[in-house]
Amino acid sequence: MYQVARPLAVVALVTAVVGAPLTASAQPDSTSARNITTMVRRMSLEDKVGQLFVTYLNGQSPDEVNPANRTNFGVDTPAQVVAKFHPGGVIYFNNSTRDNIDTPQQVATLSNGLQRAAMSSGLHIPLAISTDQEMGIVTRIGAPATQFPGNMALGAGRSTADAEKAATITANELRAMGITQDFAPDADVNSNPANPVIGVRSYSSDPALASDMVAAQVRGYQQRYLAKGAVSATAKHFPGHGDTSEDSHTSLPVVDRTVEQWRKLDAPPFRAAIAAGIDSIMTAHIQTPRIDPSGEPATLSAPVVTGLLRNELHYDGVVITDSLEMEGVRQLHSDARIPVLALKAGVDQLLMPVNLQVAVNGVLDAVRSGELSERRIDQSVLRILRMKLLRGMLTSPLVDVGAIPRTVGSPANLATAQRITDRTTTVVRNDAKVLPLAKKPASALVTGWGETTTRTLAARLTARGTTTTALPTGSAPTEAQIVAAEQAAAGAEVVVLLTNSLSTQSAQQALLTRLRATGKPVVAVAVQNPYDVGVDNPTWLATYSYGAGAMESLAKVVYGETGPKGKLPVEVPGPTRYPLGHGVTW
């Protein structure tokens, strides 16, 4: 990893913590652990509490004056937030409010600036810089960074080698941009088809398949001790968010599992992550009344975090909360109490409190009053520093911005991503033997969900010599849009209908019915959750992703350039049912 001159205080800190320089393949030994313990004992209470928090920031540059920073933190710039609060970590977003991400070079420059702010103030300890780069539908950094199709697509591909390679490439590119902790992989088993927040973020409804994929991706993200391209992986959302019918961002879902059911259905991927050496595990804001009848969300539940994760699964790594802005954790307690209760439950890192000053003061007050012991704070700080040491965050916090083009979105990485994606497309039904197309049709209509997605696929078909019309109709097509699609279908040899949540959207189902009535062959494609294929149609495919790479793979299968290799990673309920592992080949 490229390094620039570091302040003497940082050099002294690294020497104190790790002793002699560590090689890329070295695992920190007991002497290093003792040095970290000594460092924690020398820290002030305020310094220790700062290490517990991972905060959001507003802006794309370390010195960008953003009014939201003044409102949220009482200072103007991201670098000033770090200098004021000395947090243990920060998290990047690409939304309109936080807006931290533009280009890979910009992200790397932001990372370097924030690290310099951390190393020139407070304890001079480098940050853990994090983001949610699960790939698929939860992707913070888009192109030109290499894009993979997401977890359920990897589950359809059934290749742990592909899963590990995808994570390795993602980790290398994140680390090149200065990001050291990825909140991935999602270890939830999507056992509820109506789940509104997990779905294709899960690898499978099968605990064994999900476990294999989770372990493979942990290996890929973390690679080896102090690997220059490694990041700390984070398995989420413990104890398992796969059987919910509500979204914890906006409500407090209930998972009514017994402990025995949890051990069988939800625990296996987390066990696999721990066996693979996972650095951190994220909690879920869900109620588990048959495990903890108190009504507390799992994030604040000692029976869940300490009882199940620490004691039963014997996990001694970092436990991090899901965002403390989410309604699932804010319904029962104040923003000052939530961090205290999370720490009492057994959590280490506190992610994105609504008001960082209020949260910090809440923890400090709890220690000073005796509700929390300083020894308890020490345990968490020790785990956090150990994670930073294992992944080289302390020794290599800065990156070479000029090296970005050689790593992020390199031709080799892009080609690998496309090959992996090509092995995930699933043909679920081919009753009419429409596929593969015996000859390229002269004309085609691509319609249905997703303006960008329909146009992307239409361009892929056009590039293969078919005159193609793109006619997006959205998630709830109107009668006028359905009529327009019928009319367009009349002039096409084949119709490709893209669906997203068709099984719950009557207007999309009406569009499918009316297009079939035209007499033209309708190739229906579920471009997100595969549960759409339970609605009757003679020809069904599932891509699990609506990204450009998935659309290229779809075009290859439709035209017979490649055979379909994906198998359903979930069971699909009726009216037309399909079992786990189903897939048509030719």
Q: What is the DSSP letter of 186?
A: B
Q: Give the whole-angstrom CA distance, residue 24 versus residue 396.
A: 11
What does the pLDDT read at residue 246? 79
Determine phi and psi for 171, rounding to 5 degrees.
Answer: -65, -45
- Written as one string, the DSSP assignment of 531-546 is GGGGS--SEEEE-S--
Decide if 335 is catalytic: no
Contact between 338 and 329 (Cβ < 8 Å): yes
Q: Give the whole-angstrom CA distance, residue 268 versus residue 209.
A: 10
Nearest to 42 by CA among 510, 514, 490, 374: 374
Quick check: bond before 436 cis, omega within 30?
A: yes
Quick check: bond before 530 cis, omega within 30?
A: no
- Mean pLDDT in runs of 10 for the chain (586 residues)? 36 40 42 78 93 97 96 97 97 91 98 97 90 97 97 98 98 98 98 93 98 98 85 98 85 92 98 98 96 96 98 98 94 96 98 98 98 97 95 94 96 98 98 92 97 98 97 97 98 97 95 98 98 97 98 98 97 93 96
Give the SS3 label for residue 340: helix
Query: What amino acid occupies position 528?
Result: Q
- In angstroms, the Cα distances linking 13 to 10, 48, 285, 380, 395 are 5, 15, 36, 19, 10
Q: Is 301 left (phi over 0), alpha (psi -120 to 50) or beta?
A: beta
The catalytic position among 76, 188, 322, 422 is 322
What does the pLDDT read at residue 524? 98
Fold match between 8-404 and 425-558? no
Query: What amino acid occupies position 544?
Result: Y
The catalytic position among 47, 249, 333, 378 is 249
Determine phi and psi for 144, rounding to 5 degrees.
Answer: -85, 0
**Going by DSSP bridges, is the β-strand pair 467-472/443-448 parallel, antiparallel, or unpaired?**
parallel
Q: Which CATH superfamily is domain 8-404 in?
A: Glycoside hydrolase, family 3, N-terminal domain (3.20.20.300)
What does the pLDDT read at residue 33? 67
Decide if 86 is catalytic: no
Q: How many residues make up the chain in this entry? A: 586
Contacts of 288 (CB under 8 A, 6+ apart): 239, 254, 255, 257, 262, 298, 301, 304
- In angstroms, the Cα distances linking 515 to 468, 471, 472, 496 are 16, 13, 14, 10
Quick check: bond before 185 cis, omega within 30?
A: yes
Q: Give the whole-angstrom CA distance, residue 203 versus residue 210.
A: 5
What does the pLDDT read at residue 575? 86
Determine phi and psi for 246, rounding to 5 degrees.
Answer: -130, 165
Rounded to the nearest angstrom, the gap between the alpha carbon of residue 260 and the centroid of all alpha carbons in its chain is: 28
**Which pair of tokens denotes residue 398?**
């800065």
CATH architecture of 425-558: 3-Layer(aba) Sandwich (3.40)
Q: What are the sequence ranges of the domains in the chain?
A: 8-404, 425-558
